[in-house]
Amino acid sequence: MRIFKSKIIKELDAATCEAQGIDSLTLMERAANAVANEITARFLPSRRIVVMAGAGNNGGDALAVSRILSEQGYDNLEVYLFNIKGELSPDCEEQKKRLKSIEGVRFTEITSTFTPPHLTENDVIIDGLFGSGLREPLSGGFASVARLINESGAYIVSIDIPSGLAGEWNAEAKHRDMVHASLTLTFQFPRLSFFFAENADILGEWKVLDIDLDQKTMKNTHSDWLLVESRTVRPLLHARQPFSGKRDYGSAMLFTGSMGMMGAAVLCARSAMKSGVGLATVHAPRSGMTILQTAIPEAMFEPDRNERVISDMTLHHTHQAVAVGPGIGTNELTINALESLLKNCKSPLVLDADALNCISRRPALLSMLPPRTVITPHAGEFDRLFGEQPSSEARLKKAIEMSRYYNIVIVLKNHFTMIVRPTGKVYFNSTGNAGMATAGAGDVLTGVIAAFMAQGFQPEHAATIGVFVHGLAGDIASEEIGEYGVTASDISNRLGRAIKAIIDRTV
């Protein structure tokens, strides 16, 4: 699914009207019916509903929703239209006329002074003040209205986007001056700002409503932002050929583990095997041999000459993928070994965890990363590499810049993990859940990405597939066990089922 900039949405609306032979009011009615259906499915007609509508098309949506609800028996309804400048958009003006033609609707148009209604926690407030096309943060009277809505304790439903939140970037906006929705009902596709952690409490639950925008137009309209879904990944995965052998699925070398951190090596190796790699070799401190050979007998073991840490990352054989990081620590010997690997490695490379912490301790290593290396930092690791960032929005902007500058793929781990390519394209992952916020989950991901690299996928594709499969395995585990009970091993053990579900089209 493509994610479009707010300025493009109007063009998509207009193109839809032309392609389908409808006018903008008909499209507005379609959107309003979708919203009204959600509201009627959630709330009884006896519930008091207070509608706050602005002067633009978002307000027109809200007025149309009000009329539809009234026609369906929601008679405890109050509508406030804020027309401070005395100028409504044409469609909002028409929706105002249609609403006022219905008998018994309590409608108030505010042109100067606003006397706020008494709002309670038992009410439902429909926020239709401003949509995703808002260009400036809310201020003055509208900021006061937003705070009034928030302080009411009512259940708040925002149409398109919470008022005050822009569709893309919000670095200058103040959260206190935005409507804090309980439920955001947006149209056709999510907005970029939905994927940033700092906006989660603004959006509440969000749901995308299909209003049948023209598919051909959306397909032919460029966007650098995409939401990864099963239909994105499925064409890349294929059933195995019956006469294939293990060497058809590649060899992965995993530099993982240190004294006291061999569990990370086990998780990474097991996950690589469960994601379909033909051969996996673990290079770890000599002391880890018994642990690795017992816990994951399918993987080969290459002992380091050092008992406690990895001191050598020389590649003695050809491997289709090399992964470095889980549990290796940041010993000076290990950093030296990583530097030597970066200078000599010709295989596709994925770096995670302590590999990134090693680089942050010796920043010159960044410039040694081979082209299209995949790095998989969480927020803390990213900031140690590229500088402290004030928000996930700022972090994404920095990731786009650094991905292009170093010609690397950055997998920025979060609830919606962002896969940033050197071309500037960003892929937002749609799978995963809070149960995956557990020790070792990142080690699992490293093994998964390495496995797909080894099987011949380009680094960008291996990262995208790996993140999706990893999240889906976590979703399967969470559904069976519950979010509180999910461990990294639970995720790893369900990787095969996740891949099968994608291929079999059951997700």
The sign one gets for the Cα dihedral 92, 94, 97, 102 is negative
How many Å from the N-terminal Cα to the C-terminal Cα in the chain? 15
| Phi then psi dihedrals of residue 428, to 5 deg | -95, 125
Q: What is the mean pLDDT of the segment spanning 147-168?
A: 97
Q: Over 90: is that where the pLDDT of 68 sits?
A: yes
Predicted model pTM: 0.95
Nearest to 362 by CA among 341, 392, 389: 341
Q: Over 90: is that where the pLDDT of 103 sits?
A: no
Superfamily for the 231-236+249-503 domain: Ribokinase (3.40.1190.20)
Q: Which residues, 6+ apart, have CB-to-CB distance to 215 below 8 Å?
A: none
Which of 101-105, 154-158, 185-189 has the weakest average pLDDT?
101-105
User: How many CB atoms are closer than 10 A to CB 383?
Assistant: 16
pLDDT at 132: 86
Q: Render pLDDT for 315-356 as a digit per residue (tens, 0 to 9).
A: 999 999 999 999 999 999 999 999 999 999 999 999 999 999
Q: Tokens at residue 347, please? A: 């295989």
User: Where do runs of H (alpha helix) occur along 152-245?
Assistant: 200-203, 215-220, 230-233
Q: Over 90: is that where the pLDDT of 141 sits?
A: yes
DSSP 133-175: T--S---HHHHHHHHHHHHT--EEEEESS-TT--SS--TT--G
Nearest to 185 by CA among 235, 267, 128: 128
Domain with CATH 3.40.50.10260 in the chain: 2-223
Percent with pLDDT over 90 in the chain? 97
Specify whether the CB–CB gap between 105 and 72 falls below 8 A: no
d(CA 31, CA 159) in angstroms, rounded, equals 9
Q: Collapse the DSSP code of 324 into the 3-class scheme (helix H, G, I; strand E, B; otherwise coil) and give the result.
A: strand
Domain with CATH 3.40.1190.20 in the chain: 231-236+249-503
- Name the pLDDT band for 104 (thresholds 50, 70, 90): confident
Percent with pLDDT over 70 in the chain? 100
d(CA 42, CA 470) in angstroms, rounded, equals 33
pLDDT at 452: 98
- Name the pLDDT band for 239 (thresholds 50, 70, 90): confident
Q: Which residues, 6+ apart, have CB-to-CB distance to 451 below 8 Å?
A: 250, 252, 271, 272, 273, 275, 276, 277, 280, 321, 466
Specify whether the CB–CB gap between 420 and 426 falls below 8 A: yes
pLDDT at 303: 98
Which of 20-34, 127-141, 281-295, 330-344 has the weakest average pLDDT?
127-141
Q: Render pLDDT for 357-395 as a digit per residue (tens, 0 to 9).
A: 999 999 999 999 999 999 999 999 999 999 999 999 999
d(CA 375, CA 395) in angstroms, rounded, equals 15
- Name the pLDDT band for 404 (thresholds 50, 70, 90): very high
Specify whether the CB–CB gap between 161 and 85 falls below 8 A: no
Q: What does pLDDT average to over the chain?
A: 97
pLDDT at 238: 86
What is the dihedral angle through the alpha carbons of 354, 359, 360, 362, rounded to the nearest 10 degrees? 130
Residue 52 is given by DSSP the state E
pLDDT at 244: 96
Q: Collapse the DSSP code of 451 into the 3-class scheme (helix H, G, I; strand E, B; otherwise coil) and give the result.
A: helix
pLDDT at 77: 96
Q: Over 90: is that where the pLDDT of 17 sits?
A: yes
pLDDT at 317: 93
Would you give the distance in Å from CA 316 to the centre of its chain? Answer: 39
The CATH number given to 2-223 is 3.40.50.10260
Q: Render pLDDT for 184-196 as a digit per residue (tens, 0 to 9).
A: 999 999 999 999 9
Q: Render pLDDT for 165-224 as a digit per residue (tens, 0 to 9).
A: 999 999 988 999 999 999 999 999 999 999 999 999 999 999 999 999 999 999 999 999
Edge to edge, what strands does the sheet with 124-128 contain?
Answer: 106-110, 77-82, 49-53, 124-128, 155-159, 183-187, 205-209
Q: What are the beta bridge partners of residue 334?
A: none
